Structure 1
Amino acid sequence: MEQWIREYIRASGAPDITSLRAALTTTLPDQLLQLVTTIRDSKSYTALLLAISRDHPVVAHLLLTPLRGIADELLFVKVEGGDTALHWAVWKGDRELVELILHTVSSGKKYELIAVKDGGGYTALTNAAQSGDTEIVDTLLISLSVEQRVSLLNIRTISLNTALHKAAYLGHTAALQSMLTSIPPGKVSAFLSIKNDDRRTPLKDAEYWGWKDTVELLKSWQQPILAAQAAAADKKIAALQEADRLKTEELANQREELLESHQQIVALQEADNRKTAELTNQREESQRQIIALQETNNQLTADMAVMMERLYRLDIYLHTPTDTDETGDQLHEPQG
């Protein structure tokens, strides 16, 4: 896995998805998190950030899916300019990836991640509002409590613009509607009265740039919200929540499949290790037996040499004549 990440960071072409899948099946989630978080390029880009910026969403999904609930450190990594993976996913307009990131970060850190500011004070919601991506605006807001939405819409850029300002400035009427329906009606007037460093409210920005539909929408929000609008907003939120629930189940199933594959691999590795140990023990026992046989053979060879020497001397003795006197008496024994 480490080699794949390093090669991916160095490369600029299309990634080898087959190799990535194979590497993931043999890597524990904790090990994967450490590698993806610590290995970076000269601008602090992780493999995840590069995958998003290079338009390789499959790589981003494969890297994030096993890390649900443990990837906070990775997701809060900033590159030059202060952008996080969530900033990049929003800029790319990849709603599925935005959803995956929000499912991957721990629940207690979700608001904090969405509220992270880049160098210009832009949050992920500010980026979505400026892009006019209503689906991503909804995805970000539906993941938060009402209090957190109110807090998020209060965040300003270094030019004192809120997300409402950025949407109004570019005439993104649908995105404005989504943001306004996500907070209590009693809070709307306060947000519409916030002024940027040009001393303009969202409505004044829309009027200044001549966005007629946006102007009409913002003016309508200065009047009491109609019951039909509230009902439509509730229906929309319910649909988004159901979609979020289904996505959560899908991601959980993917994670379980990956974990099951990893467990099977670990079991096979353990069985292989046991077999290797058994073969090692058998080889060592065989070597000990061979050494013992060699020692026995050497001893037998030595004993045989001694016996042959004795037989040789006996043979000489038996075949050596003795000296006798005239009477035939032996005068002396032969030597040896």
Structure 2
Amino acid sequence: MEQWIREYIRASGAPDITYLRAALTTTPPDQLLQLITTTRGSKLYTALLLAISRDHSEVAHLLLTPLRGIADELLFEKYEVGYTAMHCAVEKGDRKSVELMLHTVSSRRKYKLIAEQDWWCWTALTVAAERGYAEIIETLLIKLSVEQRVSLLKIQDINLYTAPHRAARCGHTTVLQSMLTSVLPHTVSTLLSMKNCVARTPLEEAQRQASKGSVELLKSWKQPVLAAHAATYQKFATLQEADKLKSKALTNQEKELAESKQQIVALQETDNRKTAELTNQKEDLAALKEADSQKAEELANQREELVESKQQIVALLEANNRMTADMAAILERINRLDIYLRTPTATDETGDQLHEPLG
């Protein structure tokens, strides 16, 4: 199955997912997960990572949708350089796939999935900061608690760069704003004081790259702007609450979808039973037709026998009539003979009575 999916994705730049959808929807989730996670392609690409790397988000959606809560093993599978599917989706800027994976993984492992590091100790957040994907940064951080956000922003790569370091180095001011407003004010100074392998803070990296916007933003955090920060943090908290409501709505939709699937299964079972009953009725009808044909054949034979019997009776009646006629003629002749014998007609010379000839 997994090999087939990978070849299916490779076969076209924009594959028709009709047949793929049919194949995936008819495979039980547990079996689908086992097939996908136990088979490897070249360079250890899983079907999910291949779909995301080829920008086939619809295929990734088809793979992940039935696996919510049981796909942790699949999501933590790594490419040969330590990349997970999450790393790949963030690098591609595929926010839809990022949201889908965060919704698919179990709640207790969301932080671990985002914090998973590749060979250079880059997390998905590090990749997003380097690429300047502010919306993806918000998507990743909204799913975490405040403590988890701080912990994630403190993670250093192989060169001791944090995500704020990477954003400042690349001049992504909006990304810096999203990361710093996602944590409480007293933790910002800790994040901005961390140093990389060359002993530079995020502010010093921004100054080195002459990123005016990032420098101004980072310098502003040195000032007493706690009130302004409280307002921006409240905005982030509002976004987080909206995300929770969205997740709840999505969960309800999934429940409704599960109920609909159960109803469809029940209807299919009912339809199968009715089909079986109809098949049995057709078989019974065919048997009745066969029996009727046999009876009709027997009746035809009986009719033929009856016709033959009638013909024999008619022949016997005709023979009987002939015999009756013959007997009547014989009786008539006997009567005539008897009358002749009893009635004298003349006397010969000797005195004997003479009779008329019988003829």
Q: Given the two structures, how large is their TM-score scaled by the length of structure 2?
A: 0.71
Q: Is the 8 A contact 1:25 1:261 kept in 2?
A: no
* Residues 147-171 of structure 1: CA deviation (Å, up to 9, x unaligned): 1111111111100100010000001
Shift of 1:262: 6.7
Q: In structure 2, what is the equivalent of residue 166 of structure 1?
A: 166
CA-based RMSD: 2.6
- Structure 2 gap segments, 5+ residues each: 288-359
* Residues 35-92 of structure 1: CA deviation (Å, up to 9, x unaligned): 2222321211111111100010111111111111111000000011111111111111
CA distance in 1, matches of 2:3, 2:76: 24
Shift of 1:174: 1.0
Q: How does 1:319-334 map to 2 (within 5 A)?
A: none
Q: In structure 1, what is the equivalent of residue 54 of structure 2?
A: 54
Please tell me the residue identity of whatever aligns with 1:103: H
Structure 2 residue 189 is the aligned partner of structure 1 residue 185: no
* Residues 240-274 of structure 1: CA deviation (Å, up to 9, x unaligned): 43145325523652574267337635763697499
Structure 2 residue 93 is the aligned partner of structure 1 residue 93: yes
CA distance in 2, matches of 1:244, 1:89: 22
* Residues 217-238 of structure 1: CA deviation (Å, up to 9, x unaligned): 1111122333133213212331
* Matched positions, count: 281
Shift of 1:101: 0.7
Instruction: Return the structure number with greater relative CO, CA threshold 8 A, min gap 6.
Output: 1
C-alpha spacing 1:185/1:96, structure 2 compared with 1 (3 Å): same
C-alpha spacing 1:85/1:184, structure 2 compared with 1 (3 Å): same
Shift of 1:2: 5.5
- Structure 1 gap segments, 5+ residues each: 287-336
Shift of 1:9: 5.5
Shift of 1:30: 1.3
Match of 2:190, SS state, is: helix
CA distance in 2, matches of 1:118, 1:146: 24
Q: Is the 8 A contact 1:28 1:262 kept in 2?
A: no
Structure 2 residue 132 is the aligned partner of structure 1 residue 132: yes
Q: In structure 2, what is the equivalent of residue 34 of structure 1?
A: 34
Q: In structure 2, what is the equivalent of residue 325 of structure 1?
A: none
Q: Is the 8 A contact 1:9 1:41 kept in 2?
A: no
Q: Is the 8 A contact 1:5 1:39 kept in 2?
A: no
Shift of 1:4: 4.5
Q: Is the 8 A contact 2:181 2:232 kept in 1?
A: no
Q: How does 1:151-300 map to 2 (within 5 A)?
A: 151-250=151-250, 252-254=252-254, 256-257=256-257, 260-261=260-261, 264-265=264-265, 268=268, 272=272, 275=276
Shift of 1:3: 7.2
C-alpha spacing 1:152/1:6, structure 2 compared with 1 (3 Å): closer
CA distance in 2, matches of 1:107, 1:136: 18
Please tell me the residue identity of whatever aligns with 2:200: R
Q: In structure 1, what is the equivalent of residue 14 of structure 2?
A: 14
Q: In structure 1, what is the equivalent of residue 351 of structure 2?
A: none
CA distance in 1, matches of 2:51, 2:255: 20
C-alpha spacing 1:50/1:182, structure 2 compared with 1 (3 Å): same
Please tell me the residue identity of whatever aligns with 2:149: R
C-alpha spacing 1:242/1:202, structure 2 compared with 1 (3 Å): same
The alignment-based identity, stated in percent, is 59
Q: Is the 8 A contact 2:194 2:201 kept in 1?
A: yes
CA distance in 2, matches of 1:208, 1:13: 42
Please tell me the residue identity of whatever aligns with 1:11: A
C-alpha spacing 1:136/1:154, structure 2 compared with 1 (3 Å): same
Q: Is the 8 A contact 1:66 1:258 kept in 2?
A: no
Shift of 1:10: 5.3
CA distance in 2, matches of 1:204, 1:257: 52
Q: Is the 8 A contact 1:43 1:80 kept in 2?
A: yes
C-alpha spacing 1:135/1:184, structure 2 compared with 1 (3 Å): same
Shift of 1:22: 1.2
Match of 2:42, SS state, is: coil
- Greater shift, 47-56 or 185-194, is seen at 185-194
CA distance in 1, matches of 2:244, 2:58: 20
Q: Given the two structures, how large is their TM-score scaled by the length of structure 1?
A: 0.76
Shift of 1:7: 3.3
Please tell me the residue identity of whatever aligns with 2:171: G
